[in-house]
Amino acid sequence: MTMTWSDAVNGSTQKPTRPARPSYVPPHLRNDDGVSSFSNVNSYGFSTESTQYGFRSNRIADRQYGRTGTSRGGGRGRGRGLRRGRHDNAWDSNPNPTFTNQEPFDISEKFDELEVVDDDNNDGGGINFDAYDDIPVEANGSEIPPPVKTFAEIDLGERVNNNIKRCKYVKPTPIQRHAIPIAMAGRDLMACAQTGSGKTAAFCFPIISGVLKNRCSQSNPRFTRTVFPSALILSPTRELAGQIYEEAKKFSFQTGVKIVVAYGGAPISQQFRNLERGVDILVATPGRLVDMIDRGRVSLGMIKHLAIDEADRMLDMGFEPQIRRIVEQMDMPKPGARQTMLFSATFPSEIQRLASDFLSNYIFVAVGRVGSSTDLIVQKIDYIQDMDKRNHLMEILHSQRKNGNCGKLALTLVFVETKKGADALEYILSSNGFPAIAIHGDKVQMERERALKSFKSGTTPILVATDVASRGLDIPHVAHVINFDLPKDIDDYVHRIGRTGRAGKSGLATAFFNDKNMSLAKSLAELMKEANQEVPIWLNQYAERSIGGRGQRYGGNKFSGYDFRSGRSGNEDYYYSSSHGNAADYNLDASTSDVSYPACNETYSAAAAAAAEPYIPGPCGYQESYETIVASGWE
């Protein structure tokens, strides 16, 4: 059998590192406060490790005092040297001044552009943290690192801390409070948290911190063009990959950590060029990643951190083989030799079982109610026959425009079942004076991105989407999610409506229901009831008649948020109660809350009250409801 590039790589890692470089120090022998030493540029100089950090930090310090990367690097004559030694990662991991468009400095000047601009208010990047204060949490596993209350308690290093401030994150969201200490301790993690509650940061911070600690551990033989990222983040859609990349770039600003994004539909050559400039963290969709690995341009052999976002989707029937191939059949280190973190808002127990193959002695954390979105989203269900859907939609949109801000339409995301249906609805809406644009997987990537941008900017305040847009996308100011066609799976419903009501803000979700959605009736009714929503009588009647729940596929674990290792069926009480009070605690009674969950304040109460605002069910209930709710969605 011939020696493949990956054999070569694996072989090379067993050899001593190259003599000219500081010797490799295995992670367990390293100074634990490697990251914190970043916070003091004067404290280096006694060990190999420290020297390296010192070198890096001095360079970073140079930057901090305002010189441009280009002139600086050129002046020192370092550019070429680094470039020559590009594949030696102890050096490579230093920002390379010759590649100006990878320079943190470059990003520095553009940081404000990178930032998600949230101009609603100044309350911490627009995140209504208080809305999260009283959320119950369940954590399972052995020796669980305790949660933190502030970012300051976590030793992420000064650079990352500065970025947290730049992002105006004043304090961690619940998932961040729990997941970050677990991840920082190097533990494997399965995390289940409500949509829009800060999962991306929860896995990015520890990964960036881990990369900073382990920078010198990579090795890359000069004779290949293979790159060896030390962290991999997988996403189910291209747009989500792009979004995670943008976020991660902000979080790692001026740390020297190199992040590259790779997904299909965009020229691979440019992505290769980005890789050649060095990569610590690779954000990718599965297909393009496999392609790159097959071409020998990326090796997973040095992966220390693996994060899978929307992990339940990534392990469902369509995606599972690809993910298994990447995680189990490439040269990725085995569970235990790498850190694996799986995140999603929903996590059916059946999928948890599959996922546990990837994990080693992991901790399960669930924040918020099981598979729930939030109380901040007002959910409304209308009984509408297929043939009446279009007119009904236009009535809603018309009503929204009438009641909206200066006659402008609030951003409205309309989900349909098929790509064809998305195009058709886009056409119908557009030709009836509603500025709409469609996004789906049959469009070329540029059209997809254009659609998203046009929607985000409000140019076309109606986005007609397939499930390509159902997960993870953070689109500020989506006031209304309309399920024109309901999904088959309650989890997809949760993710779809989660495009609104993000970051603690309120939102509205409307669904068009008819006999074809019968199988969803029971789980939908239960989900709504649990979220304190008004459930139409007719929906309850459908729910009683239907077989409901998840059916056999998920073993009846309807709300898909328990640690499957706990053996709970999901048919019993599905509030988290083990660590935090009981169901009655959740909503408004903060007095019985655990100390670690401070009393809710006015903001939360107001939001919850708005969400609990009763609806007048039936077709005539619209006008009044939209007035209040859509307005509050915009604040």
- CB closer to DNA out of 294 and 357: 294
Q: Which of 503, 508, 458, 459 is nearest to 627 (CA)?
A: 508
- CB closer to DNA out of 325 and 390: 325
- CB closer to DNA out of 421 and 476: 421
User: Where are any strands of DSSP class E within 384-525?
Assistant: 411-415, 436-439, 462-465, 478-483, 507-513
CB 327, min distance to DNA, A = 15
3-state secondary structure of 511: strand
- CB closer to DNA out of 236 and 404: 236
Contact 218, 230 (CB under 8 A): yes
Q: Specify burial of residue 34 (Cβ count, 10 A radius: 0-12, 13-18, 19+).
A: buried
DSSP string covering 233-300: EE-SSHHHHHHHHHHHHHHTTTT---EEEE-TTS-HHHHHHHHHT--SEEEE-HHHHHHHHHTTSB--
Q: Which of 580, 470, 501, 609 is nearest to 177 (CA)?
A: 580
Largest CA distance in the chain: 78
Enter the DSSP assignment of 537: H
- Which residues of this protein are in contact with DNA, per CB under 7 A? 236-239, 263-266, 268, 284-291, 294, 316-319, 322, 417-421, 440-442, 466-468, 488
- CB closer to DNA out of 12 and 322: 322
- CB closer to DNA out of 382 and 485: 485
Written in H, E and C, the secondary structure of 303-348 is: CCEEEECCHHHHCCCCCHHHHHHHHHCCCCCCECCEEEEEEECCCC
> In the numeric block, which tokens belong to residue 599?
């009393």
Report the amino acid identity of residue 583.
A
- CB closer to DNA out of 147 and 236: 236
DSSP string covering 401-432: HHHSGGGPPPEEEEE-S-HHHHHHHHHHHHHT
CB 487, min distance to DNA, A = 7
Give the span between the Cα atoms of 370 and 372, in whole angstroms.
Answer: 5
Give the span between the Cα atoms of 268 and 254, in whole angstroms.
Answer: 26
CB 582, min distance to DNA, A = 36
- Sheet with 363-367: list strands edge to edge: 137-140, 363-367, 189-193, 339-344, 305-308, 231-234, 281-284, 259-262
CB 492, min distance to DNA, A = 8
Contact 104, 253 (CB under 8 A): yes
CB 283, min distance to DNA, A = 11
- CB closer to DNA out of 82 and 240: 240
- CB closer to DNA out of 250 and 288: 288
CB 392, min distance to DNA, A = 21
> In the numeric block, which tokens belong to residue 445?
């990537």
- CB closer to DNA out of 146 and 318: 318
